[in-house]
């Protein structure tokens, strides 16, 4: 083995020998979450990604300590979800630790928000010895957005370093862009820079079903440690239910994603085409039109080419 700058040089056979000394990655939650990986859970607003993430976290907590960094809900909002009208509260596993912002926190002089956030996270990991960290959600991670590669890469570099330093499993919640309800969810729908996807070991999405307001489907978009189990032809369909004091995703069946997508009438499609042409004539870029109308840039090019 030889270290050359950034790189470690080994033969392919040496890599295999070294790998044999390492533990085999375990499934922590179905084929969606693997130990020691960075996984991104992506969904539109109010689809239920926090509900599903808490459910996953509580199950993993039956075996090990989990830090759920909740930067979305207040204590009372959390209580409402996991009680019966603020009584008869659900009892979580003791290994599940919920973290939120300290009220009126102050950042030390000459320390940036981003550095203080990471430093505080490191202290939490050391104090609790947690090896699974869920961050809900990525928009609150740093002081600026992560829509550009220049801003997303430093963040993902630091998260990868934490993963390696502490042997972490990281589950990051992220939003999708506004997208057309008639087409399948893809990696291109993830809000912000693709740099986040490049760093992630796995990505899966939650989509709304047009069949029922409480139906959702789960679709894998990227995997590294297994075969893709929940793809376009085999999404996992779930119902959001709250029988007592625990709101959860309850598995219903498997089906094709196409069964849960909206079918536009020819008139609705023509309206979108006309809108795209008008926006382009007014100087809007093809990429900007695609984002606003919730379709791919290729679709916009096709519409304009066939105008």
DSSP result, 204-229: EEEEE-SS-TTEEEEEEEE-SSS---
Q: Tell me what pLDDT residue 53 has.
A: 98
Bond before 26 cis per omega within 30 degrees = no
The C-alpha atoms of residue 151 and residue 247 are separated, in whole angstroms, by 35
Q: Tell me what pLDDT residue 13 has.
A: 96
The C-alpha atoms of residue 3 and residue 14 are separated, in whole angstroms, by 14
Give me the percent of the chain exceeding a pLDDT of 70: 94
Q: Tell me what pLDDT residue 148 has.
A: 55
108 within 8 A of 119, measured Cβ to Cβ: no
The C-alpha atoms of residue 127 and residue 274 are separated, in whole angstroms, by 58
Q: Tell me what pLDDT residue 73 has.
A: 92
Place of tokens 């992506």: 42
Q: Tell me what pLDDT residue 276 has.
A: 87
pLDDT at 274 exceeding the cut of 80: yes
70 within 8 A of 100, measured Cβ to Cβ: yes
30 within 8 A of 254, measured Cβ to Cβ: no
Instruction: Assign 19 to helix, strand or coil.
Output: helix
> What mean pLDDT do residues 280-288 have?
86
> What mean pLDDT do residues 277-285 have?
88
DSSP for residue 168: -
Q: Tell me what pLDDT residue 265 has.
A: 72
The residues facing 96 across adjacent strands are 66
The C-alpha atoms of residue 138 and residue 155 are separated, in whole angstroms, by 10
pLDDT at 143 exceeding the cut of 60: no
Pairs from 285-289 (Cβ < 8 Å, separation ≥ 24)? none
Residues in the chain: 307
Q: Average model confidence (pLDDT) for the chain?
A: 89
pLDDT in tens, 113-135: 888 889 999 999 999 999 999 99
pLDDT at 307 exceeding the cut of 70: no
pLDDT in tens, 62-118: 999 999 999 999 999 999 999 999 999 999 999 999 999 887 778 888 888 888 889
Tokens found for residue 131:
């090896």
Higher pLDDT pick, 154 / 11: 11
pLDDT in tens, 188-237: 888 766 778 888 999 999 999 999 999 999 999 999 999 999 999 999 99
Q: Angle between the 297-305 and 286-293 helix axes, to the nearest 10 degrees?
A: 110
Q: Tell me what pLDDT residue 21 has.
A: 92
Q: What does the longest C-alpha to C-alpha distance in the chain come to?
A: 64
The CATH number for 25-260, chosen from 3.40.50.261, 3.20.20.70, 3.30.70.380, 3.40.50.300, is: 3.40.50.300
């Amino acid at each position: 083995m030889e270290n050359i700058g950034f790189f470690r040089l080994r033969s392919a056979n040496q890599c295999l020998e070294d790998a044999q000394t390492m533990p085999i990655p375990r499934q922590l939650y179905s084929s969606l979450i693997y130990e020691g990986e960075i996984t991104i859970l992506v969904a539109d607003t109010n689809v239920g990604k926090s509900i599903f993430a808490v459910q996953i976290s509580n199950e993993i907590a039956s075996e090990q300590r989990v830090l759920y960094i909740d930067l979305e809900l207040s204590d009372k909002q959390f209580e409402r979800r996991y009680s019966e009208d603020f009584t008869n509260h659900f009892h979580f596993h003791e290994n599940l630790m919920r973290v939120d912002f300290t009220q009126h926190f102050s950042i030390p002089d000459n320390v940036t928000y981003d550095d203080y956030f990471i430093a505080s996270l490191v202290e939490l990991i050391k104090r609790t010895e947690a090896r699974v960290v869920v961050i809900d959600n990525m928009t609150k991670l740093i002081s600026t957005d992560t829509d550009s590669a220049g801003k997303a890469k430093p963040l993902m570099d630091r998260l990868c370093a934490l993963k390696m330093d502490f042997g972490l499993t990281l589950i990051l919640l992220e939003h999708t862009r506004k997208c057309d309800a008639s087409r399948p969810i893809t990696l291109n729908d993830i809000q912000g820079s693709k740099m986040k996807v490049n760093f992630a070991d796995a990505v899966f999405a939650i989509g709304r079903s047009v069949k029922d307001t409480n139906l959702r489907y789960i679709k894998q978009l990227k995997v590294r440690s297994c075969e893709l189990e929940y793809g376009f032809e085999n999404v996992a369909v779930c119902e959001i239910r709250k029988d007592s004091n625990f709101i959860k995703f309850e598995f219903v069946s498997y089906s094709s994603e196409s069964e849960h997508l909206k079918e536009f009438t020819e008139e609705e499609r023509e309206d979108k085409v006309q809108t795209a042409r008008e926006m382009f004539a007014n100087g809007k870029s093809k990429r900007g039109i695609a984002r606003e109308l919730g379709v791919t840039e290729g679709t916009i090019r096709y519409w304009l080419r066939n105008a």
